[in-house]
Amino acid sequence: DDDDDDDANLDTPSDRGMESNGSKKKADDDNTSSKDVDGSAESNKDSSESPSTPDHAIVDAKSKAKASEMTSKDYYFDSYSHYGIHEEMLKDRVRTETYQAAILQNKEVFKDKIVLDVGCGTGILSMFASQAGAKHVYGIDCSSIIDTAKILVEKNGFKDKITLIKGKVEEVVLPHGVEQVDIIVSEWMGYFLLYESMLDTVLYARDKWLVPDGIIFPDKAVMYLCAAEDAAYKADRIDYWRNVYGFDFSPIREIALKEPLVDVVEGRSIVTNPVPILNIDILKCTKEDLAFKVPFRLTAARNDDVHAFVAYFECAFTQVPKPVGFSTSPWSNYTHWKQTVFYLPEKEYICQNEEISGDIECKPNEKNNRDLDITLNVKFHGTLSKFDGTMEYCLR
């Protein structure tokens, strides 16, 4: 894939076209909603059959207790049981074809090696690895999609080459007496790169099983921040709440401002240069490195309004003879990760060559470590506009 080879350089965003599609989080939300509706329907059905029996009340109470005991991890794994999420990820050609190129264009790296696929999903990366000549591939996933993956593996002739294990990486023991693996492959990236905290699991697998000088696919990731003009969308998603059919709904506006928007941002909307805010070497980083606070300084490329900050990331596979990579930047081809948008309370006007400075902090939410708490401290003293403030966001 020629485009993927061009993206291996993480230093500069590439200037390419963009497509449009749905979002992984939307699929997640939609599936969660449908599950809740189905659950309610089932409960109502039971109530109509035995509306006043003590036994039913006991069963209903137990069901509610069980539901209340479900952790964030339970909901996380359950959401990945639905095929719609996997369909969207598989149809993300930038994502899937980059992994395919990284593996199949480097067959000499995989020949006769033991490979671990962390969060294997439908097993597509396991099959790529086996196709590239791996001696054996072990795939681990905690969601029930792995039951379907086992069928797919057998149907495509990999039954003797791929072993799929249902469970949590932290609890699994690899079969056949395997204590080390040569290569780890994983598609762990979430929105804002770190959302859902799956990288924690990859690092655990690395420390538990990867041989010294082993290979991780991908092994590098960089996240960037820039500023954007986004008047139309901000008016629709944020400022709408100022006047809803003549009523003041502004308290909801305050809530909406705290929730970053995951959506496509066009390259022409970007007002400043992008700057790196996080650089990860997955071979060396620790879990603690994933909570960060770093300064930034953005320079305006033109005179324009600034409505929001925009984050995106790039990943690369650099441990191989033919390195490849991809970008989720506003200038690149569409991916299901899109971009992450952090709206300012009010627009600011910036002139060419003026600077916006500050720092950005990111850490896991205390109640649900798969969510992210993100804080932006911003200082801007321009010719026509001034802003000093702190904005707190939660990506969930």
Higher pLDDT, 289 or 7: 289
Q: Residue 23 — pLDDT band, cuts 50, 70, 90?
A: very low
The residues with which 386 forms a beta bridge, in sequence order, are: 381
Q: Compute the chain's Rg from CA coordinates.
A: 23
CA distance 233 to 236: 5
CA distance 164 to 140: 6
Residue 128 falls in which region: left (phi positive, over 0), alpha (psi -120 to 50) or beta: alpha
CA distance 185 to 129: 9
Exposure class string for 104-140: b at 16+ Cβ within 10 A, else e: ebbeebbeebbbbbbbbbbbbbbbbbbbbbbebbbbb
What is the average pLDDT across 86-98? 95
The residue written with tokens 């921040």 in the block is 225
DSSP 316: E
CA distance 213 to 378: 41
Distances (CA, A) of 33 to 30, 86, 89, 190: 5, 17, 20, 20
The residues with which 139 forms a beta bridge, in sequence order, are: 117, 164
Q: Residue 68 — pLDDT band, cuts 50, 70, 90?
A: very low
pLDDT per residue as tens digits for the range 191-228: 999 998 799 999 999 999 999 999 999 999 999 999 99
SS3 of residue 192 by DSSP = coil
pLDDT per residue as tens digits for the range 242-269: 999 999 999 999 999 999 999 999 999 9
Q: Which residues, 6 or more positions from 381, have their beta carbon under 8 angstroms from its beta carbon?
A: none
What is the set of active-site residues?
Answer: 187, 196
SS3 of residue 349 by DSSP = strand
pLDDT per residue as tens digits for the range 338-351: 999 999 999 999 99
pLDDT per residue as tens digits for the range 359-391: 999 999 999 988 999 999 999 999 999 999 999
What is the average pLDDT across 90-112? 97
Q: What does the block give as tokens for 264?
A: 């496509």
Q: What does the block give as tokens for 104?
A: 């199949």
What is the average pLDDT across 2-10? 40
Q: Residue 357 — pLDDT band, cuts 50, 70, 90?
A: very high
**Predicted structure pTM score:** 0.81
